[in-house]
């Protein structure tokens, strides 16, 4: 028996929510360890659809949910999300949800600065959600952040807000945006404090006890490897490290406890926002993938850009992300296509390369090199075993395994939680 860390192997929106929900039936606790409410996981359970941003997906399974110290938390957004899922019948109480007391808070000035900066970039926008995640991480690194534990100390809040507002109001004013008054921000934080503090604790201590007690821990990542602030298509990335190594530091647990690393990848490729996308399709096939796959961002509602499966990119994510097995999602979206293409590498300014380089100019210049495969006429939707899949669909999955250098551990064939082919249980040693 081992723990499992789930990370995205592309640019996010790979269907991690369903996979985490499915795996949560085998786990005792689910931990979010990085990102903020810029993440979005959609879970379809019968006739009910849950859209989660901060809450660990395991809550839908009735499992203990933990928000780790690596997450940046907007208290308003968190409480709103709790109220929304409670209205759908989920139980979210201090017995089912715990929050790291050393997690950093996202405050209103963070979102304001995020949006003002993005507006000032004009046609060079990064494509942020404008929810303040980046500025909150900046404050964390600069050691001026307000953390969950600070809500219990009014005098600490008062002193920290002086430095925080001095910094942010100067930047906001320079961008022509309204500034914030300390009294109003302090009053609102003190008003929210009891609602947040009831969930707070040193979660590292709880996780250590659960691990020693033999409980199964599922680490739930947000975004994806190619949005990692170090390893992704910088600067068109998120503001945190998304690789599996972050599960340890973002939860407060030793690296040996992370366990099996499962990477989630769609059977094709999508991306929300700006940035390079070598295998993007601008034709009717790309539009068809978007329509059949219902490709809209869970958080932003923006249409996702769609393209062929990029095996070179996923292979890169496998290596830097520590991925030991892939969960391939939305295979059914490819049903009926006569021909499929897989990107196996790139041509950049006449040179053949096997990975996306670090330099943004080279990333933008990358032209895909394709391998063509025959599609399948039968349906893979709802398949629960290899025998249920069209033969050519199995060949497609096997070719992905070869090109990415990672075994396919799970295959998802519809949004429904039980329409999943399990090749290997990730929780088994």
Looking at the domain assignment, is residue 219 inside a domain?
yes
CATH code, domain with 230: 3.40.440.10
Mean pLDDT of 318-326: 96
Q: Are residues 50 and 185 in the same domain?
A: no
pLDDT band at 348 (very low <50, low <70, confident <90, very high): very high
Say what the pLDDT of residue 79 is. 97
> Residue 83: which residues within 8 A CB-CB, separation 6 or more?
none
pLDDT band at 232 (very low <50, low <70, confident <90, very high): very high
Q: Are residues 375 and 402 in the same domain?
A: yes
Q: Are residues 74 and 205 in the same domain?
A: yes
Residue-averaged pLDDT of the chain: 93
Phi, psi of 220 (to 5 degrees): -105, 110
Say what the pLDDT of residue 415 is. 84
Q: Is pLDDT of 417 > 80?
A: no
Residue given tokens 């499966």 in the structure block: 309
Q: Are residues 172 and 302 in the same domain?
A: no
The separation between CA 351 and the C-alpha centre of its own chain, rounded to angstroms, equals 32
**Among 93, 25, 94, 102, which residue's Cα sits nearest to residue 58?**
25
**How many domains, in total, are found in the chain?**
3
Structure tokens, 87:
């209205």
* Count of Cβ atoms closer than 10 Å to residue 319 Cβ: 15
Q: Is pLDDT of 44 > 80?
A: no
Q: Are residues 163 and 248 in the same domain?
A: no
Q: Is pLDDT of 299 > 90?
A: no
Looking at the domain assignment, is residue 34 inside a domain?
yes
Catalytic residues: 13, 41
Q: Are residues 325 and 249 in the same domain?
A: no
User: What is each CA distance from 127 to 265, 298, 411, in whole angstroms?
Assistant: 21, 15, 30
Structure tokens, 126:
């990064």
Looking at the domain assignment, is residue 427 inside a domain?
no
Say what the pLDDT of residue 43 is. 76
Looking at the domain assignment, is residue 300 inside a domain?
yes
Q: Are residues 307 and 327 in the same domain?
A: yes
pLDDT band at 298 (very low <50, low <70, confident <90, very high): low
Task: Read off the pLDDT of residues 362-388 as tens digits, 9 standing for 90 and up.
Answer: 999 999 999 999 999 999 999 999 999
Given the DSSP bridges, would you call strands 48-52 and 41-45 parallel, antiparallel or unpaired? antiparallel
Q: Is pLDDT of 286 > 80?
A: yes
Q: Are residues 83 and 187 in the same domain?
A: no
pLDDT band at 50 (very low <50, low <70, confident <90, very high): confident
Q: Are residues 301 and 390 in the same domain?
A: yes
Lowest mean pLDDT among 43-47, 92-96, 167-171, 352-356: 43-47
Looking at the domain assignment, is residue 358 inside a domain?
yes
Domain residues for the domain of 180 are 104-196
Task: Read off the pLDDT of residues 60-83 as tens digits, 9 standing for 90 and up.
Answer: 888 999 999 999 999 999 999 999
Domain-terminating residue out of 158, 177, 196: 196
- Contact status, residue 59 vs residue 90, Cβ threshold 8 Å: yes
User: What is each CA distance from 266 to 24, 202, 259, 303, 308, in whole angstroms?
Assistant: 20, 36, 23, 16, 10
Q: Are residues 376 and 413 in the same domain?
A: yes
Task: Read off the pLDDT of residues 116-169 as tens digits, 9 standing for 90 and up.
Answer: 998 888 877 777 778 899 999 999 999 999 999 999 999 999 999 999 999 999
CATH code, domain with 293: 3.90.170.10
Q: Rounded to whole angstroms, how far apart are CA atoms 374 and 102?
A: 52
Say what the pLDDT of residue 1 is. 63
Mean pLDDT of 265-276: 92
Domain-terminating residue out of 143, 161, 196: 196
Q: Are residues 23 and 148 in the same domain?
A: no
pLDDT band at 178 (very low <50, low <70, confident <90, very high): very high
Count the alpha carbons within 13 Å of 5 in the hemisphere toward its beta carbon: 30
Q: Are residues 292 and 394 in the same domain?
A: yes
What is the percent of the chain where pLDDT is above 90? 79
Lowest mean pLDDT among 31-40, 140-149, 348-357: 31-40
- Contact status, residue 274 vs residue 360, Cβ threshold 8 Å: no
Looking at the domain assignment, is residue 367 inside a domain?
yes
Domain-terminating residue out of 243, 260, 277: 260
CATH code, domain with 188: 1.10.300.10
Say what the pLDDT of residue 39 is. 74
Q: Rounded to whole angstroms, how far apart are CA atoms 383 and 263?
A: 21
Angle between helices 182-197 and 154-174 (to 10 degrees): 130
Say what the pLDDT of residue 22 is. 83
Looking at the domain assignment, is residue 429 inside a domain?
no
Quick one: three-class SS letters along the chain? CCCEEEEECCCCCCCHHHHHHHHHCCCCEEEECCECCCCCEEEEECCEEEEECCCCHHHHHCCEEEECCCEEECHHHHHHHHHHHHHCCCCCCCCCEEEECCCEECCHHHHHHHHHHHHHCHHHCCCCCCCCHHHHHHHHHHCCCCEHHHHHCHHHHHHHHHHHHHHHHHHHHHCCCCCCCHHHHHHHHHHHHHHHHCCEECHHHHHHHHHHCCCCEEEECCCCHHHCCCCCCCCCCCCCCCCCCHHHHHHCCCHHHCCEEEEEEECCEEECCCCCCCCECCCHHHHHHHHHCCCECCCCCCECEEECEEHHHHHHHHHHHCCCEEEEECHHHHCCCCEEEEEEEEEECCEEECCCCCCHHHHHHCEEEEEEEECCCCCCCCCCCHHHCCHHHHHHHHHHHHHHCCCEEEEECCCECCCEEECCCCCCC
Residue given tokens 């409410």 in the structure block: 37
Looking at the domain assignment, is residue 175 inside a domain?
yes
């Amino acid at each position: 028996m081992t723990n499992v860390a789930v990370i995205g192997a592309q640019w996010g929106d790979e269907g991690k929510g369903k996979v985490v929900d499915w795996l949560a039936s085998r786990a005792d606790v689910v931990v979010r360890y990085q990102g903020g409410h810029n993440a979005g996981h959609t879970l379809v359970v019968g006739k009910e659809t849950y859209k989660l941003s901060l809450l660990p997906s395991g809550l839908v399974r009735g499992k203990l949910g933990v928000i780790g110290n690596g997450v940046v938390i907007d208290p308003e957004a968190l409480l709103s999300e709790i109220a929304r899922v409670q209205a759908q019948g989920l139980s979210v109480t201090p017995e089912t949800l715990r929050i790291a007391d050393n997690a950093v808070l996202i405050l209103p000035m963070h979102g304001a600065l995020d949006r003002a900066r993005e507006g000032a970039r004009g046609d060079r926008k990064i494509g942020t959600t404008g929810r303040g995640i980046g500025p909150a991480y900046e404050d964390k690194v600069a050691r001026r952040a307000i953390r969950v534990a600070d809500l219990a100390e009014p005098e600490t809040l008062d002193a920290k807000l002086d430095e925080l507002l001095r910094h942010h109001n100067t930047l906001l004013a320079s961008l022509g945006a309204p500034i914030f008054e300390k009294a109003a921000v302090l009053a609102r934080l003190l008003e929210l404090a009891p609602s947040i503090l009831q969930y707070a604790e040193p979660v590292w201590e709880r996780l250590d006890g659960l691990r020693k007690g033999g409980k199964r821990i599922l680490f739930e990542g947000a975004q994806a490897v190619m949005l990692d602030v170090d390893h992704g298509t910088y600067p068109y990335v998120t503001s945190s490290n998304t690789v599996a190594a972050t599960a340890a530091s973002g939860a407060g647990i030793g690296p040996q406890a992370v366990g099996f690393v499962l990477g989630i990848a769609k059977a094709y490729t999508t991306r929300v926002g700006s940035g390079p996308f070598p295998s993007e399709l601008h034709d009717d096939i790309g539009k068809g993938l978007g329509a059949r796959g219902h490709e809209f961002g869970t958080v932003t509602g923006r249409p996702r850009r769609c393209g062929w499966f990029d095996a070179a990119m996923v292979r890169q994510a496998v290596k830097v992300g520590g991925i030991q097995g892939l969960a391939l999602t939305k295979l059914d979206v490819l049903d009926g296509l006569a021909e499929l293409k897989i990107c196996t590498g790139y041509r950049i300014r006449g040179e053949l390369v096997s990975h996306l380089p670090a330099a943004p100019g080279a990333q933008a210049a990358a032209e895909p090199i394709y391998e063509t495969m025959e599609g399948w006429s039968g349906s893979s939707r709802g398949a629960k075993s290899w025998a249920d899949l069209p033969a050519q669909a199995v060949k497609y999955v096997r070719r992905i395994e070869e090109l990415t250098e990672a075994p396919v551990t799970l295959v998802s064939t519809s949004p429904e939680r039980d329409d999943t082919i399990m090749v290997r249980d990730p929780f088994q040693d």
